[in-house]
Structure 1
Amino acid sequence: MAKNPPLRPGQPAPRSGQYEITGPRGGKGPERTVTRNEPLPPTPSKGSTYKLVDPTKHGK
Structure 2
Amino acid sequence: MANKPPLKPGSKTPVSGQYPVVGPRGGRTGQEVTSVEGRPLPPTPKPGQGYGKPDVTKHKK
TM-score category by the smaller chain?
0.7 to 0.9
Number of corresponding residues: 60
Unaligned residue ranges in structure 1 (runs of 5+)? none
Unaligned residue ranges in structure 2 (runs of 5+)? none
Q: For 1:15-54, list aligned pairs within 5 A.
A: 15-29=15-29, 30-54=31-55
Question: CA 1:51 to 1:26, structure 2 compared with 1: closer, same or farther past 3 Å?
Answer: closer
Relative to the length of structure 2, the TM-score reads: 0.80
The root-mean-square deviation of aligned C-alpha atoms, in Å, is: 2.2
Q: Share of identical aligned residues, percent?
A: 53
Tell me the distance in 2 between the aligned counterparts of 1:35 and 1:20.
Answer: 14
Relative to the length of structure 1, the TM-score reads: 0.82
